[in-house]
């Protein structure tokens, strides 16, 4: 450990200290997110105090309190859940430390508690996935059977992606979700659930997985059942991590809505701005796109994660 | 006495456990102001009757009345509340709690709901003083020996304002002085009109204190007799159900030529073995074929000597030589490798493994010595086990029942069997006859003589001096955790001389013993 | 002690033996704190200590309940879920506009009721506590997701006040009301365990349940009471958590039962029952809290290094605690 | 008549009867819900069907639970098995992923050997903490439970390591004689552990240590060694389970692999009739317990019970299982139904026996 941290000395040398509380390291996506932030901090000359909350809100609150004690210049965090931040954010505000949210939002009524929210829109991701499907199945005459692999029950991305997707496919009454089950965002979970889906439902046309990993797990189940992924069953996922992009490029997936973890550079930018007292927009969406199989082939060689 | 109405009656009591009929149509009465002995062999059903009475077990059939009114206790709590106070066989106290608390838990003096600890300690001290005990009442009970724990259990029971006091083998681990103390109090309580139910395997004690005797055999009632009308021999015959011939006391054969035995290198030679706070360093030699008795008062350190010798506790210093070569007996496993066996006095905590079957309990030590890779073939196990189940008359004779289901005395026999099959060269027996019925006790005494004739050395610890004298070639006397004398068991030695040895130079408080 | 020579040797080690575990834990905790202060400047702020209490108040309350259970030799795996369920129920009832007082009462009843049921199952049907409370854990967590799949914010005035009220000294250091509540719970529990029959019966059952039964103690009643108390503590913990986060979230407190058990055991309570102190549990919670604080202050640890270091600190602590001469049991 | 009655009684009295009954009821319920549930067909020379899935998916749990059974029987508990799965899987996959030829058998064997070696070390670590230093098992293994997951992530650097190795994949998905290899491995492990404990005296010695440690010590058992061995065995079982988990999806996820498996394993052990207080253990019961748990999970998927209510559903089933399991609970009903209850089932547990 370094002994000269904290104590408000940060401003003296003109270097910003940023306290960042990460959700955890529960997925490759999250790790990429962490790496991006660390690299960006180093590049931008920001001193980073990093804390891993191990998926516990309590830990994040603790970390934020400690950042306040250490008098960091800016606090940023990816909230584990939406609610429950008012008290500690008020303490930060009273201590005069600006707060930036990344990746996930909070539902505080008092918007002055944080400066800005930088991150993806999970609902939009679900909607993009749904819209693509609606477009694809425009011509479908009979019913289209969809199965859904949800993320962990109760997690915001799971809830929102489900919601966005459902909204989008409501446009076509032929599109029906016949089974929806949680695969806990993991490959093993995705595979085990898909195995049962396949046995219970003779005709599955589309699989929507809330992240690439579950989709990749489901791939195996589909292959084992003697079906051809990407052809017999259309597969849509979210995230666009490397393995997922590979599967898309190989024609095993059909569509991915990107959810980019590379928030680092944007975050450092914002941190400097709020520290300097500049006005920043209240909501900054990460630049995200979607990939079809062709786009994936193009993009794959220069993907960073 | 018997002209009053019984305070307690049990009528037609039956109780079965899976595969065992522990009680069958038993009647029992208890009058106020009497001491009533409940007698029977190991497994006869004495403890079960007591447990049925106090609601630990449900009855299958039968009824119980207290003061003429039918009762059915749901457990000891209710029984105690109704004035039936019980000391169950085996010490049933909580060793993690302090002595004082063990005596008063459940009925602590309180002020506004808060336990008055000072008062608890004060009263505990007073109560123990009645039993001639001077203990640190705030020390955990577990730091005291089993005998002390037994006394504490008795203290707990007699403090309760009870009309019925039940004592299931309270004297099995007490020495003569403690027993006398207990009897004094029992008489006092009896004279106050309390009805006392008393279980023991010591016939002398029965004739000393009991007014009436009820005999059980194999779960059935044999009869109820005034003590005066039932001579000792008759009692034993009623208990074992046949003519008495086994009971020809073993002749005092042991007074053989000690000098002859003690020729050559001793099997075990101990020099200045000791452990701070437990036993002062002592020297002791034991020769093959020799029975060494260990005498002393309660808490004098006999058990500690045995444990040190066996490596159950670490000694601070001193050497042990086996066959003349110095050996290390620092763990029980090492001691067993050297041919030492140790049958602990505390069978529940240090002896039986309750979940394992009788067979497994018996072969445990032998198996441990062989190592787990060489299991004893099942056939051999069955042979060995059968042999000792028969020899020691272990009941039920089914080796596959969990040992937890056996009566106390039968558990003790199982432990004995465990060590006998290992054929040790030195067998340490700490209170081996504790809680064992008269028939089996003689068997065990015979066994010890046989074994020593066959060349096995035995270190024999018993609270009964007669027993020690009868069996030993040599008696080592303990006082205050010091080995104060080693006396050859020649014609000059008797109980009185041992008591004198113990008493001479002992502390003031013990002079009256 | 001034008794005769008979007892002198026997009592020699008594006092230290009983107190050493707790004292050792306390000493080690202080050492750990000292290390923090010497390494990180801001660590010496009084508020850092206060924060440890603020951030761990609910954990403390739950751990106190767990102490009762573990003292009887049982275990309660449901606590984390009951905490979450209580918070969820409060949040959703408040959302529906029920008055705060009523919500409090309801929320405080649910936990003990579940505890009571579990205690009855354990006692009457003779089922192992582990499995019963595991079922309770599934059930309570199931109720959480059943009530709502996503977190519910609390906007109620009373809750907000309880959450944001700062009780402090003029220099700006403060604790929350939750801390006071937690302390109150600790005091009541310590008193109950040391000075009431219930408390003593708890120790007795942990020492030897069969003996306790034969001694005429109300074993069944006590055992049921203990799970009920744990349920109550979890409910209070849940309320405190809902003060703390001003919300109910279905996945909050996952794995909390392990933290709680760890805190209790680090505090010197023996898992097989019969021996331990509430004060030890307080220390145990503080140990976990300080470890967490140390790690945040360091701020340079990777995600996985965080876990490794937590494990390492835990190990070092327990090893030292053990070497300083605690002989559990 | 009397004879059939007697046979019925011995059957019902058997330890495994009630867990087995629960399993059968669960399968039956599934079959009613979806008649094809139990059907098994031959596809490409492999058996294919839900029952096979259940068996295959329960293989890792069976393995972990086997080790756990032994540890619990000594009076301990091993919370670190989940982390152990993650670590072993991570090491194996990491090594394989770095080799040029992932499909070569020697590479895979080296990977397995390395991972097993580490598992041995970690198991020994647990064993030393418990048996030598005397730390309470739950805390001793908690250390590795926390730190171990960190280690696993350290190895994979937080990424999901995907490999493309047919031999390794076979551990999770391969078939031998139409049956999934994973099932056979679990079966072999069960037989091995069974043979080791029941054909030698080890089982009795373990039970003795768990039943009364002090008495065992005085009987000459070196209980420290036995306990130590138990933790090593548990670690090795968990490591093999880790191979299966990662092979099943051809990737190692340091975070998710084996998450909460310790709870499932303990549950399986307890359902199988082994007491958490130590003492007697029942390997066959444990296996049945693991199957019940996996069937339960599969049922949630197969009946498509919504994620929101699936936990409630599980809770209800677990409660039902433990109630049916409990002799005291059944006794209440038996007593009510027949006035003269068969002694073998009713008085099974005298009131005196209070579980610790
Ligand atoms: N819990 C139990 N389960 C099964 N059988 C039991 C149980 N308790 C006692 N028994 C059996 O009941 C019979 C009577 O036992 P009990 O303990 O009453 O004997 P006892 O007369 O007290 O003998 P001892 O003098 O050895 O103490 C024995 O055969 C014993 O094996
Ligand atoms: N009168 C007493 N006062 C206090 N403690 C005692 C007393 N008697 C025995 N103890 C306790 O018992 C232990 C010594 O007893 P030990 O078991 O060695 O004696 P023993 O001669 O075998 O007597 P016992 O008949 O109790 O088996 C001591 O360590 C002490 O803790
Ligand atoms: Mg008896
Ligand atoms: Mg003794």
> Phi-psi bin for A258: left (phi > 0), alpha (psi -120 to 50), beta?
beta
Q: Kindly give the distance from the C-alpha atom of residue A77 to the centroid of ligand 2, in angstroms, as a whole number.
A: 64
| pLDDT of C4 | 35
Closest CA to D291 of D42, D78, D24: D24
- Residue B505 clears pLDDT 50, i.e. is over it: no
pLDDT in tens, C90-145: 999 999 999 999 999 999 999 999 999 999 999 999 888 988 999 999 999 999 98
Q: Would residue B451 count as lying in a domain?
A: yes
Q: Kindly give the distance from the C-alpha atom of residue B177 to the centroid of ligand 4, in angstroms, as a whole number.
A: 15
B405 close to ligand 1 (CB < 6 Angstrom):
yes
pLDDT in tens, B322-366: 988 888 888 999 999 999 999 998 888 899 999 999 999 999 999
Q: Kindly give the distance from the C-alpha atom of residue B405 to the centroid of ligand 1, in angstroms, as a whole number.
A: 7
| pLDDT of C72 | 96
Between CA C246 and CA C254, with CA C248 as vertex, the angle to 5 degrees is: 120
Q: Considering only the beta carbons, identify the residue of C5, C11, C207 that sits closest to B96.
A: C207
Query: In chain B, pLDDT over 70 holds for what percent of residues?
Result: 94
pLDDT in tens, D274-311: 998 899 999 999 999 999 999 999 999 888 888 888 88
The alpha-carbon gap from C128 to the nearest alpha carbon of chain B, in Å, equals: 17
Range B129-135, long-range pairs (CB < 8 A, 24+ positions): B130/B155, B130/B185, B131/B155, B131/B178, B131/B181, B131/B182, B131/B185, B132/B177, B132/B178, B132/B181, B134/B509, B134/C3, B134/C4, B134/C6, B134/C7, B135/B99, B135/C3, B135/C7
Q: Which of B100-104, B456-460, D174-178 has the lowest mean pLDDT?
A: D174-178
pLDDT confidence bin for D353, thresholds 50/70/90 = very low
pLDDT confidence bin for B217, thresholds 50/70/90 = very high
Domain count, chain C: 1
Q: Would residue C75 count as lying in a domain?
A: yes
Mean pLDDT for all residues in chain B = 88
Q: Would residue D20 count as lying in a domain?
A: no
pLDDT in tens, A213-272: 999 999 999 998 889 999 999 999 999 988 999 999 999 999 999 998 999 999 999 999
| pLDDT of D323 | 85
Instruction: With H, G, I as helix, E, B as strand and everything else as coil, classify residue B28.
Output: strand
- Residue C201 clears pLDDT 70, i.e. is over it: yes
Regarding whether B273 and B198 lie in a shared domain, the answer is no
| pLDDT of B510 | 38
Regarding whether B233 and B316 lie in a shared domain, the answer is no
Q: Would residue B2 count as lying in a domain?
A: no
The alpha-carbon gap from A28 to the nearest alpha carbon of chain C, in Å, equals: 12
Query: Which ligand does the CA of D353 lie closest to?
Result: 1
Q: Would residue C11 count as lying in a domain?
A: no
Check CB contact of A95 with chain C, cutoff 8 Å.
no
Domain count, chain B: 3
The alpha-carbon gap from A25 to the nearest alpha carbon of chain D, in Å, equals: 6
Closest CA to C122 of B442, B383, D279, D276: D276
Query: In chain D, pLDDT over 90 holds for what percent of residues?
Result: 63
| pLDDT of B497 | 85
| pLDDT of C79 | 97
Q: Would residue C12 count as lying in a domain?
A: no
Q: Would residue D33 count as lying in a domain?
A: no
Residue nearest to atom 10 of ligand 2 (CA): B299
CA separation for the pair B477, D2 (Å, rounded): 63
B44 close to ligand 1 (CB < 6 Angstrom):
yes
Regarding whether B432 and B289 lie in a shared domain, the answer is yes
Q: Kindly give the distance from the C-alpha atom of residue B346 to the centroid of ligand 4, in angstroms, as a whole number.
A: 8
| pLDDT of C25 | 84
At least 3 CB pairs under 8 A between chains C and A: yes
| pLDDT of B251 | 53
Entry field: residues in chain D:
356
- Residue C1 clears pLDDT 80, i.e. is over it: no
Domain count, chain D: 1
Domain limit, last residue, from B190, B207, B240: B240
pLDDT confidence bin for B404, thresholds 50/70/90 = very high
- Residue A192 clears pLDDT 70, i.e. is over it: yes
To which residue do tokens 């400066």 refer? A115
Regarding whether B304 and B415 lie in a shared domain, the answer is no
Task: Domain of residue C290: give its range.
Answer: 17-323
pLDDT confidence bin for B3, thresholds 50/70/90 = low
Tokens of residue D70, six digits: 């032994």
| Chain A contact partners (≥3 CB pairs within 8 A) | C, D
**Contact D37/D30 with Cβ under 8 angstroms?**
yes
pLDDT in tens, C274-321: 888 999 999 999 999 999 899 989 888 888 888 899 899 889 888 887
CA separation for the pair C305, D326 (Å, rounded): 44
Q: Would residue B513 count as lying in a domain?
A: no
Regarding whether B246 and B202 lie in a shared domain, the answer is no
Regarding whether B139 and B87 lie in a shared domain, the answer is yes
CA separation for the pair D298, A194 (Å, rounded): 11
- Residue A9 clears pLDDT 50, i.e. is over it: no
Domain limit, last residue, from B365, B392, B423: B423
Tokens of residue A234, six digits: 């259309």
Query: How many helices (H) and strands (E) in chain B?
Result: 17, 22
Largest Cα separation within chain B, whole Å, is 72
Q: Would residue D314 count as lying in a domain?
A: yes
Regarding whether B451 and B417 lie in a shared domain, the answer is no
The CATH code of the domain that includes D103 is 1.10.3470
Q: List CB contacts (< 8 A) between B369 and chain D.
A: 220
pLDDT confidence bin for D212, thresholds 50/70/90 = very high
Element spanning B286, H or E: strand B279-286
Regarding whether B453 and B357 lie in a shared domain, the answer is no
- Residue D332 clears pLDDT 80, i.e. is over it: no
Q: Which of B88-102, B235-249, B259-273 has the lowest mean pLDDT?
A: B235-249
Task: Domain of residue D209: give its range.
Answer: 49-321
Regarding whether B286 and B398 lie in a shared domain, the answer is no
Q: Considering only the beta carbons, identify the residue of B312, B364, B371 that sits closest to D208.
A: B364
The CATH code of the domain that includes C282 is 1.10.3470
**Backbone dihedral angles phi then psi of residue B457, each to the nearest 5 degrees:** -90, 145
Mean pLDDT within B164-175: 90
Mean pLDDT within B53-75: 93
**Backbone dihedral angles phi then psi of residue B262, each to the nearest 5 degrees:** -90, 15
Of B78 and C22, more confident: B78
Mean pLDDT within D81-100: 95
Q: Would residue D331 count as lying in a domain?
A: no
CA separation for the pair B156, B148 (Å, rounded): 12
**Contact B327/B337 with Cβ under 8 angstroms?**
no
Check CB contact of B355 with chain D, cutoff 8 Å.
yes
Q: Would residue D337 count as lying in a domain?
A: no
| pLDDT of C143 | 94
- Residue C325 clears pLDDT 80, i.e. is over it: no
pLDDT confidence bin for D345, thresholds 50/70/90 = very low
Closest CA to D280 of B353, C133, B350: B353
pLDDT confidence bin for B256, thresholds 50/70/90 = low
Q: Would residue B1 count as lying in a domain?
A: no
- Residue C48 clears pLDDT 70, i.e. is over it: yes
| pLDDT of A303 | 80
Q: Which of A1-15, B186-200, C169-183 has the lowest mean pLDDT?
A: A1-15
Query: In chain C, pLDDT over 90 holds for what percent of residues?
Result: 65
The CATH code of the domain that includes B217 is 3.40.50.300
- Residue B290 clears pLDDT 50, i.e. is over it: yes
- Residue C13 clears pLDDT 50, i.e. is over it: no
Q: Would residue D27 count as lying in a domain?
A: no
Q: Would residue D23 count as lying in a domain?
A: no
Q: CB under 8 Å to C274, separation ≥6 — which residues?
A: B94, B96, C71, C73, C203, C204, C206, C207, C208
| pLDDT of B257 | 64
Q: C273: nearest CA in chain B?
A: B96
Mean pLDDT for all residues in chain A = 89
B433 close to ligand 1 (CB < 6 Angstrom):
no
Q: Would residue D8 count as lying in a domain?
A: no
Mean pLDDT within B118-143: 91
Regarding whether B78 and B102 lie in a shared domain, the answer is yes
Strand partners for A291? A256
Q: Would residue C288 count as lying in a domain?
A: yes
| pLDDT of D347 | 33
pLDDT confidence bin for B490, thresholds 50/70/90 = confident
Regarding whether B471 and B445 lie in a shared domain, the answer is yes
Q: Which of B279, B299, B464 for a ligand 2 pocket mutation test, highest count of atoms within 8 Å of Cβ?
A: B299
The alpha-carbon gap from D158 to the nearest alpha carbon of chain C, in Å, equals: 8
Q: Kindly give the distance from the C-alpha atom of residue B43 to the centroid of ligand 1, in angstroms, as a whole number.
A: 5
- Residue C5 clears pLDDT 50, i.e. is over it: no
Task: Domain of residue B498: give its range.
Answer: 242-339+424-506
| pLDDT of C3 | 34
- Residue D336 clears pLDDT 80, i.e. is over it: no
């Amino acid at each position: 450990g370094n002994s000269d941290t904290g104590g408000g000395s940060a401003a003296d040398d003109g270097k910003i200290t940023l306290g960042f509380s990460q959700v955890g390291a529960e997925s490759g996506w999250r790790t990429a997110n962490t790496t991006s932030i660390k690299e960006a901090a180093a590049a931008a000359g920001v001193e980073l105090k990093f804390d891993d909350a191990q998926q516990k809100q309590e830990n994040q609150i603790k970390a934020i309190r400690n950042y306040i004690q250490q008098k960091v210049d800016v606090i940023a965090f990816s909230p584990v859940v939406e609610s429950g931040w008012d008290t500690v954010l008020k303490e930060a505000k009273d201590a005069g430390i600006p707060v930036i949210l990344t990746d996930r939002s909070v539902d505080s009524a008092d918007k002055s508690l944080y400066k800005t929210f930088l991150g993806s829109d999970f609902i939009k991701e679900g909607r993009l996935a749904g819209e693509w499907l609606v477009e694809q199945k425009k011509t479908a005459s009979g019913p289209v059977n969809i199965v859904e692999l949800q993320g962990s029950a109760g997690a915001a991305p799971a809830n929102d992606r489900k919601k966005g997707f459902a909204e989008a496919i409501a446009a076509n009454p032929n599109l029906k979700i016949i089974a929806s089950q949680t695969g806990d965002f993991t490959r093993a979970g995705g595979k085990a659930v898909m195995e049962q889906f396949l046995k219970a439902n003779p005709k599955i046309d589309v699989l929507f997985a809330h992240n690439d990993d579950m989709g990749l797990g489901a791939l195996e189940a589909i292959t084992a059942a003697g079906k051809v992924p990407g052809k017999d069953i259309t597969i849509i996922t979210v995230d666009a991590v490397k393995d997922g992009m590979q599967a898309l490029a190989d024609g095993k997936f059909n569509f991915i809505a990107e959810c980019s973890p590379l928030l680092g550079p944007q975050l450092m930018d914002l941190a400097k701005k709020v520290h300097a007292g500049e006005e920043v927009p209240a909501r900054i969406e990460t630049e995200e796109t979607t990939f079809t199989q062709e786009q994936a082939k193009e993009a794959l060689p220069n993907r960073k994660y | 006495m018997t002209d009053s109405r019984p305070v307690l009656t049990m009528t037609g009591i039956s109780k079965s456990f899976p595969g065992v009929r522990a009680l069958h149509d038993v009647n029992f009465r208890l009058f106020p102001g009497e001491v009533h002995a409940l007698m029977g062999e190991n497994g006869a059903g004495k403890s079960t009757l007591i447990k049925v009475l106090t609601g630990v077990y449900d009855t299958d059939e039968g009824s119980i009345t207290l003061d003429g009114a039918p009762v059915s206790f749901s457990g000891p709590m209710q029984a105690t509340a109704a004035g039936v106070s019980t000391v169950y066989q085996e010490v049933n106290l909580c060793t993690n709690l302090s002595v004082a608390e063990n005596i008063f838990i459940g009925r602590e003096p309180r002020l506004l709901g808060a336990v008055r600890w000072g008062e608890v300690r004060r009263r505990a001290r007073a109560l123990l003083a009645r039993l001639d005990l001077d203990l640190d009442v705030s020390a955990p009970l577990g730091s005291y020996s089993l005998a002390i724990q037994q006394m504490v259990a008795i203290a707990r029971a007699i403090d309760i304002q009870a009309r019925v006091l039940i004592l299931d083998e309270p004297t099995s681990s007490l020495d003569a002085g403690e027993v006398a103390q207990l009897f004094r109090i029992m008489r006092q309580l009896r004279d106050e009109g309390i009805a006392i139910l008393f279980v023991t395997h010591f016939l002398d004690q029965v004739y000393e204190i009991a007014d009436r005797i009820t005999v059980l055999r194999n779960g059935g009632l044999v009869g109820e007799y005034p003590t005066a009308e039932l001579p000792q021999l008759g009692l034993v015959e009623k208990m074992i159900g046949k003519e008495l011939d086994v009971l020809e006391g073993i002749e005092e054969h042991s007074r053989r030529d000690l000098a002859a035995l003690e020729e050559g290198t001793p099997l075990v030679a101990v020099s200045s073995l000791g452990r701070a706070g437990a036993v002062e360093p002592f020297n002791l030699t034991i020769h093959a074929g020799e029975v060494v008795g260990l005498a002393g008062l309660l808490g004098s350190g006999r058990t500690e000597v045995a444990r040190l010798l066996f490596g159950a506790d670490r000694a601070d210093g001193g050497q042990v030589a086996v066959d003349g070569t110095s050996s290390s007996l620092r763990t029980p496993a090492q001691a067993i490798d050297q041919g030492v066996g140790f049958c602990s006095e505390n069978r529940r905590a240090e002896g039986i493994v309750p979940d394992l079957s009788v067979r497994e309990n018996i072969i445990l030590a032998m198996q441990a010595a062989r190592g787990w890779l060489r299991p004893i073939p099942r056939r051999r196990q069955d042979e060995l086990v059968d042999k000792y189940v028969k020899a020691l008359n272990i009941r039920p004779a089914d080796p596959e029942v969990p040992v937890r289901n056996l009566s106390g005395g039968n558990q003790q026999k199982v432990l004995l069997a465990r060590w006998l099959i290992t054929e040790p060269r030195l067998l340490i027996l700490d209170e081996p006859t504790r809680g064992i019925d008269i028939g089996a006790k003689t068997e065990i005494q015979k066994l010890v003589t046989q074994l020593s004739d066959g060349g096995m050395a035995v270190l024999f610890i018993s609270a009964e001096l007669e027993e020690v004298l009868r069996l030993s070639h040599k008696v080592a006397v303990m006082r205050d955790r010091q080995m104060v004398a080693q006396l050859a068991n020649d014609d000059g030695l008797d109980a009185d001389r041992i008591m004198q040895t113990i008493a001479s130079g002992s502390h003031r408080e013990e002079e009256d013993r | 002690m001034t008794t005769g020579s008979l007892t002198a040797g026997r009592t020699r080690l008594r006092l230290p033996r009983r107190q050493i575990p707790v004292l050792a834990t306390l000493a080690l905790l202080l050492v750990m704190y000292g290390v923090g202060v010497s390494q990180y400047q801001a660590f010496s702020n009084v508020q850092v200590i206060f924060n440890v209490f603020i951030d761990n108040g609910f954990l403390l309350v739950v751990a106190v309940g767990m102490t009762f259970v573990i003292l009887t030799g049982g275990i309660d795996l449901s606590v984390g879920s009951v905490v979450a369920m209580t918070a969820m129920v409060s949040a959703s009832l408040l959302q529906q506009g029920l008055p705060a007082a009523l919500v409090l009462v309801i929320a405080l009843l649910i936990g003990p009721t579940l505890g009571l049921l579990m205690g009855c199952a354990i006692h009457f049907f003779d089922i192992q506590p582990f499995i019963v409370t595991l079922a309770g854990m599934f059930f309570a967590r199931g109720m959480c997701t059943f009530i709502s799949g996503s977190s519910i914010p609390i906007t109620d005035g009373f809750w907000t006040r309880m959450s944001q009220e700062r009780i402090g000294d003029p220099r700006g250091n403060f604790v929350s009301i939750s801390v006071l509540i937690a302390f109150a719970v600790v005091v009541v529990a310590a008193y109950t365990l040391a000075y009431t029959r219930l408390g003593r019966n708890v120790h007795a059952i942990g020492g030897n349940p069969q003996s306790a039964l034969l001694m005429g103690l109300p074993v069944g009643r006590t055992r049921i009471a203990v799970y009920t108390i744990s349920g109550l503590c979890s409910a209070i913990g849940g309320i405190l958590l809902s003060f703390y986060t001003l919300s109910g979230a279905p996945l909050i407190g996952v794995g909390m039962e392990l933290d709680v058990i760890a805190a209790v055991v680090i505090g010197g309570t023996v898992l097989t029952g019969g021996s331990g102190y509430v004060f030890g549990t307080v220390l145990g919670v503080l140990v976990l809290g300080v470890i967490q604080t140390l790690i945040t202050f360091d701020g340079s640890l990777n995600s996985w290094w965080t876990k490794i270091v937590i494990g390492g600190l835990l190990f070092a602590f327990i090893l030292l605690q053990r070497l300083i001469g605690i002989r559990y049991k | 008549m009397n004879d059939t009655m007697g046979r019925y009684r011995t059957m019902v009295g058997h330890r495994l009867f009630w867990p087995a009954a629960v399993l059968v009821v669960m399968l039956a319920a599934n079959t009613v819900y979806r008649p094809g549930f139990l059907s098994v067909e031959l596809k490409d020379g492999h058996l294919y069907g839900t029952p096979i899935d259940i068996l295959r998916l329960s293989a890792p749990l069976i393995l972990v639970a086997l080790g756990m059974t032994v540890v619990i029987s000594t009076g301990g508990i091993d919370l670190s098995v989940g982390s152990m799965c993650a670590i072993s899987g991570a090491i194996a996959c990491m090594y394989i992923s770095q080799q040029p030829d992932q499909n070569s058998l020697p590479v895979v064997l080296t990977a397995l050997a390395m991972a097993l070696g580490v598992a041995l070390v970690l198991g020994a670590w647990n064993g030393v903490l418990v048996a030598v230093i005397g730390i309470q098992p739950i805390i001793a293994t908690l250390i590795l439970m926390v730190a171990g997951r960190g280690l696993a992530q350290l190895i994979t650097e937080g990424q999901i390591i995907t490999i493309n190795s047919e031999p390794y994949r076979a551990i999770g998905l391969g078939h031998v004689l139409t049956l999934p290899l994973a099932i056979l491995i679990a079966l072999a492990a069960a037989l091995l552990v069974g043979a080791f404990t029941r054909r030698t005296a080890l089982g009795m010695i373990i039970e003795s240590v768990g039943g009364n440690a002090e008495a065992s010590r005085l009987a000459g058992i070196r209980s420290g060694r036995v306990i130590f061995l138990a933790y090593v065995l548990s670690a090795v079982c968990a490591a093999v389970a880790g191979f299966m988990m990662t092979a099943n999806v051809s990737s190692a996820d340091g975070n998710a692999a084996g998450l909460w498996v310790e709870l499932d394993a303990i549950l399986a052990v307890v359902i199988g009739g082994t007491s958490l207080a130590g003492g007697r253990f029942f390997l066959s019961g444990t296996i049945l317990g693991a199957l019940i748990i996996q069937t339960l999970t599969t049922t949630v998927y197969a009946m498509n019970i919504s994620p929101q209510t699936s936990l409630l559903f599980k809770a209800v089933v677990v409660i039902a299982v433990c109630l049916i399991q409990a002799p005291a609970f059944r006794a209440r009903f038996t007593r009510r139904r027949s006035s003269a209850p068969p002694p073998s089932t009713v008085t099974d547990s005298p009131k005196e026996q209070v579980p610790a």
